[in-house]
A = this chain, B = another copy of it.
Amino acid sequence: MMDHLIEKTISKDIIFEGRVIDLHVEEVELPNGKKSTRELVKHPGAVAILALTNENKILMVSQYRKALNRVIVEIPAGKMEKGEEPEVTAKRELDEETGFTCQSLKHLISFYTSPGFADEIVHLYVAKQLTKQTSPAELDEDEFVDVIELTLEQAIQYVKEQKIYDAKTAYAIQYLQLQQALGEKNE
């Protein structure tokens, strides 16, 4: 089954082991017997949360992203701790980043973000029945975010203006557009 596509690892070189990612370079044997190298980023995986307030607004965070050297607006998200179930990460990150807890949390989809070079997976959840905490959990000490609430129409405008500019958030907004087009109400 698809064996004719598979690349066998000949050797592996661990270039870097960091706080968030590791970098491996593998020498591989290609399906035609020739050799090549693959540069592979190892990532612990992440969750993202499409959180809808009782007024049907979308909770978003403005965050500076050093990789992009700019602030973008994203749905709340965060890395999974070692051994942590994604549902637990989702509730923790929602609380830490926005100060809200949720009564309802449903898995929407999981996807790899950059299969060409990284194993990062994002587990996307829809959170509803939110409650604002009086004493929210604290952010990681190197995290700084502004929380904003957007209507779907505002979020679509943010996509056009490239204030929203990442795959998971674009997917989440398109999901809401689809639900709206299908005529489904958010319970």
Contact = CB atoms under 8 A, between A and B. Distances in A.
Interface string A39-78: 1110100100000000000000011111110011010010
Interface in A101-115: 109-115
Interface residues of A, number: 72
Given A2-B64, A25-B18, A111 B71 contact: no
Interface stretch (A81-89, A92-100, A128-136, A139-147): A139-147
Q: How many copies does the complex hold?
A: 2
Given A5-B145, A145-B5, A66 B114 contact: no
A166 B111 contact: yes
A72 B118 CA distance: 14
A34 B109 contact: no
A144 B4 CA distance: 8
A42 to B, nearest CB: 8
B46 A116 contact: yes
Interface in A1-28: 2, 4-7, 9, 15-16, 18-21, 23, 25-26, 28
Contact of A178 (B16, B68, B112, B177): B177
Contacts of A67: 38, 40-41, 112, 114-119
Contact of A112 (B9, B120, B141, B167): B167
A67 B26 CA distance: 10
A170 B18 contact: no
A119 B30 CA distance: 28
A173 to B, nearest CB: 10
Interface string A132-170: 000000000110111000000000000100100111101
Given A67-B118, A72-B112, A79-B116, 8 more contacts: A5-B62, A7-B66, A9-B66, A23-B23, A38-B67, A109-B159, A113-B113, A113-B166
